Amino acid sequence: MSKLYFTYSAMNAGKSAILLQAAHNYRECGMDVMLWTSVHHAKHADAETGEIESRIGLKAPAHLFRPETDLFEAVLRRKTEGQLDAVFVDEAQFLSRGHVWQLSRVGDELGVPVLCYGLRTDFQGRLFEGSAELLAIADDLREARTICHCGRKATMNLRHDASGEAVTEGAQVGVAKSDYDSLCRKHWRERVERHQADRA
């Protein structure tokens, strides 16, 4: 049985670079892969394809998943066209619960491994829907690590405004990656509590 994998981390851990390197390795071995990313990162809302891009400049074209996308059916159609050895999903935190179960069927019923990469929690310290479901049902969980400015492992994503002050309210998506810091829990909590005290 092929597995459903979830590699998670805070921001700036190089998840997209890890994904692109793994996909490249598959292709170098003569295998074929299918890449997916969230429509949140499409250049146009009606785009049919997007791009997975890492901070170090690696990039590759990818299919876009939307709330209405049936990932199992899309992968099944692709598999009937020819060889398919793995499915890679970037920005997996934006998957719905239904999407995650569709991807589990890709492994269980189609025999194709699915490798998902994404954030575990949002800027408020809450699990994303897709991440929560992957943590619950994925066969294999892996953590990609990055560090806080203090040297400890960063596990939290702090959203900040132009002046560097913590932001604790607002939409879960739609903010530039440059508006975030990756922090350990202690320093994330200190920044959030300072912001809340300043507003009191």
23-36 residue pLDDT tens = 999 999 999 999 99
- Written out in words, the top-level CATH class of the domain with range 4-145 is alpha beta
User: Rounded to whole angstroms, how far apart are CA atoms 57 and 9?
Assistant: 19
Catalytic residue chosen out of the listed positions 48, 73, 91, 109: 91
Instruction: Decide if 4 contacts 116 (C-beta within 8 A).
Output: yes
**C-alpha dist (Å) from residue 120 to 84, 98, 173:** 28, 17, 14
Instruction: For 83-101, give the secondary structure using H, E and C.
Output: CCCEEEECCHHHCCHHHHH
pTM reported for the whole predicted model: 0.92
83-112 residue pLDDT tens = 999 999 999 999 999 999 999 999 999 999
109: annotated active-site residue: no
Q: What is the mean pLDDT of residues 181-193?
A: 94
**Which sequence spans correspond to the domains of the chain?**
4-145
